């Protein structure tokens, strides 16, 4: 017998737990579906103390992984155990055969996320640093982080590695361990293609981090990752904000935002993306 619950669903992440009485559930693959379309995949690998205390195996029954579904279709997402007919439904779920739409954030969803984030900070469930990161990213679609810090022992300047910083930020975003990958892009067209892949691709978080060893400009329309059917595209495109890129900073971007890159001739931009770790 399979038991479980889908506890939280947004248009880019699904979370919950699943339990099998035969105990053979840890590291099993889960598939999220919207109708006949697979909109994400992950594994059962998160430890849940509450489930362990309830006598459900060793407690490694939780899951969280990225999905790709539009806000209006959240209620129809289900989770299936690979190789099994078992299905987890949401309460009051509406299951149809329609294909998944492209992801976008709705204004009401952003407000709900921010309210939950404030609650988590108030009750000590998240750090001030993670709170600031997620609040800014969800609100504007972009977050800048400096890589130079001061050593407390001798006040010497220390340069943090951009990949390590990006990994920490991705883990705060997905609330789980992640595996990262890096793509080198050398033009605005390559940048746009990679951003589009991350915005629509299954399994990857819809955010990326950028850094460069040269000087470059990231141009982004802040807030354009939030769906607004009434917004005028030409007017929004005229409101680009420039972020200077250098070896001293890394910038995290929501892949759904309107963004462009200005690189010097021969310059290389590194785009870091992440998926939940399956190990």
- Structure confidence at residue 22 (pLDDT): 72
- Structure confidence at residue 113 (pLDDT): 86
The whole-angstrom separation of Cα 76 and Cα 84 is 19
Low-confidence stretches of the chain (pLDDT beneath 50): 93-102, 229, 233-235, 237
- Structure confidence at residue 85 (pLDDT): 67
In eight-state DSSP terms, residue 73 is G
Residue whose entry in the numeric block shows the structure tokens 């067209």: 189
Q: Measured in Å, how far apart are the chain's first and last C-alpha atoms?
A: 26
| Nearest partner of 91 among 78, 72, 101, 82, judged by Cα | 78
pTM over 0.85: no
Residues forming a β-bridge with 76 = none
- Structure confidence at residue 91 (pLDDT): 58
Q: Is 110 helix (H, G, I), strand (E, B) or coil?
A: helix
- Structure confidence at residue 202 (pLDDT): 59
Note the pLDDT tens digit of each residue in 136-158.
999 999 999 999 988 777 778 88
The whole-angstrom separation of Cα 40 and Cα 32 is 5
The whole-angstrom separation of Cα 61 and Cα 17 is 5
- Structure confidence at residue 148 (pLDDT): 92
- Structure confidence at residue 99 (pLDDT): 31
Query: Which structure tokens are listed for 10?
Result: 């947004």
């Amino acid at each position: 017998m399979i038991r479980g619950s889908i506890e939280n669903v947004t248009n880019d992440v699904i979370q919950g737990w699943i339990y099998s009485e035969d105990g053979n559930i840890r590291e099993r693959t889960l598939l999220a579906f919207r109708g006949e379309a697979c909109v994400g995949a992950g594994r059962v690998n998160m430890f849940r103390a509450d489930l362990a205390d309830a006598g459900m195996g060793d407690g490694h029954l939780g899951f969280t992984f990225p999905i790709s579904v539009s806000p209006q279709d959240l209620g129809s997402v289900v989770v299936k155990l690979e190789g099994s007919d078992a299905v987890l439904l949401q309460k009051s779920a509406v299951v149809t055969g329609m294909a998944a739409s492209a992801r976008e954030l709705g204004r009401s969803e952003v407000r709900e996320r921010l309210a939950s984030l404030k609650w988590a900070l108030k009750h000590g469930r998240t750090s001030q640093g993670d709170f600031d990161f997620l609040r800014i990213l969800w609100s504007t679609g972009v977050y800048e982080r400096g890589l130079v810090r001061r050593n407390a022992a001798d006040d010497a300047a220390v340069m943090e590695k951009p990949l390590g910083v990006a990994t920490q930020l991705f883990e705060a975003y997905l609330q789980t361990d992640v595996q990262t990958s890096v793509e080198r892009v050398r033009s605005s067209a390559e940048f746009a293609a990679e951003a589009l892949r991350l915005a629509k691709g299954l399994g990857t978080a819809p955010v990326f981090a950028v850094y460069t060893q040269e000087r470059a400009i990231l141009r982004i329309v802040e807030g354009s990752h939030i769906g607004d059917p009434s917004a005028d595209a030409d007017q929004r495109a005229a409101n680009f904000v420039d972020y200077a890129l250098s070896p001293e900073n890394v910038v995290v971007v929501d892949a759904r935002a309107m963004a462009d890159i200005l690189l010097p001739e021969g310059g290389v931009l590194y785009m870091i993306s992440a998926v939940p770790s399956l190990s």
